[in-house]
Amino acid sequence: MRVVFLGTAAGRPTVSRNVPALLLQREGESFLFDCGEGTQRQMMRYGTGFSVDDIFLTHLHADHFLGVTGLLRTMGLQGRQTPVRLWTPAGTERMLHRAVTLGYERLPFPVEIHGLEPEQRVERTAYTVIAFAVDHHPRVRCLGYAFVEPPRRGRFFPERARALGVPEGPLWGRLAAGEAVEVDGRRIEPRDVLGPPRPGRCVVYSGDTRPCETTRRYAAGADLLIHEATFAQDEAERARLTGHATAAGAARLAAAARVRRLVLTHISPRYADDPRALEREAQLHFPSVQVAHDGLVVEVPYVDAVPEWQDSGGTVGATAP
């Protein structure tokens, strides 16, 4: 799994940064979160391709969704025929429909628009996308998203299988896949040769928000938290009034949630060309942090070890908010 940052600016583009969009790629599938103006050009620039079936929008402020119209037109000109699913906060479907149908030409593929309520889940076989409420603007419906994989089976221990007399070969494969087998009239269960379940991966994207309890809850133990950091701490009051976060505030939330890694995005144009002050500010509260730039690629590997705090009752990712 990896995340490609296509746009990392807040409000408007700068010379070095486009407006918000990020692409999550997992085992041949791609998911777009937010789609600011010009996102299709960023996808060409960074070589991600346009094979996106699901676009998740955090809210319908212009810098987060105006790129949808152009992206869909580009897909149509390239001959796409398979559907695209747009996910948006419940109650904003009609406004999004207007953007999708802007212009005279018809798209050669279906576009499905789905409204999401907080805590609603988009369930797939190998992962779940969970929408959660954030704290941005009282009159604007806003969501964050958690992309969560289920726990994986435990590691297979060959020495345990040998000690139980299981011959190497197909029976090992069946046990590793979670199936019981019979050897010399004895039933061997997968738990006899497998270690404890291993966590899946979890990536959480805050969208635009002040630091809030729901983000902390859904990000608990996440492999990667992508949080907005529009301002530095000297603008903390402005951040509060406009429903945004400072780098320090995002870092304190990451520390409270005990995430593995924090990446800051949605950077105000005033810091766009030199975000080091934001990074230094955040590192005072959470060391594993960086400020994103357009084109940044973040790999999200599997981690087998379960942190000690999770063993004592913590929540893994967003599996049990």
CATH number for the domain harbouring residue 44: 3.60.15.10
Do residue 222 and residue 170 come from a single domain?
no
Do residue 99 and residue 49 come from a single domain?
yes
Q: Could you read off the pLDDT of 239-283 as tens digits, one per residue?
A: 999 999 999 999 999 999 999 999 999 999 988 778 889 999 999
Report how many domains make up the chain: 2
Distance (Å, whole) CA 230 – CA 14: 14
Instruction: Give pLDDT, residue 305.
Output: 56
Do residue 164 and residue 185 come from a single domain?
yes
Do residue 180 and residue 87 come from a single domain?
no
Residue 314 belongs to a domain: no
Do residue 50 and residue 126 come from a single domain?
yes
Regions of the chain short of the pLDDT cut 70: 104, 305-321
Do residue 165 and residue 144 come from a single domain?
no
Instruction: Give pLDDT, residue 138.
Output: 86
Single out the catalytic residue among 34, 63, 135, 223.
63
Do residue 23 and residue 165 come from a single domain?
no
Instruction: Give pLDDT, residue 315.
Output: 39
Distance (Å, whole) CA 54 – CA 52: 6
Q: What are phi and psi of 270, to 5 degrees?
A: -65, -25
Whether the pTM exceeds 0.85: the reply is yes
Instruction: Give pLDDT, residue 313.
Output: 34
Do residue 88 and residue 229 come from a single domain?
yes
Distance (Å, whole) CA 242 – CA 143: 16
Do residue 134 and residue 272 come from a single domain?
yes
Do residue 169 and residue 297 come from a single domain?
no
Residue 115 belongs to a domain: yes
Instruction: Give pLDDT, residue 60.
Output: 96
Residue 319 belongs to a domain: no
Q: Could you read off the pLDDT of 124-135 as tens digits, one per residue?
A: 999 999 999 999
Distance (Å, whole) CA 46 – CA 57: 21
Return the SS3 of 151. Answer: coil
Residue 311 belongs to a domain: no
Distance (Å, whole) CA 220 – CA 208: 19
Active site residue 54: no
Residue 115: give the domain boundaries: 2-151+199-301
Residue 310 belongs to a domain: no
Nearest in space to 19 (alpha carbons), one of 57, 63, 58 = 63
Do residue 186 and residue 290 come from a single domain?
no
Residue 315 belongs to a domain: no
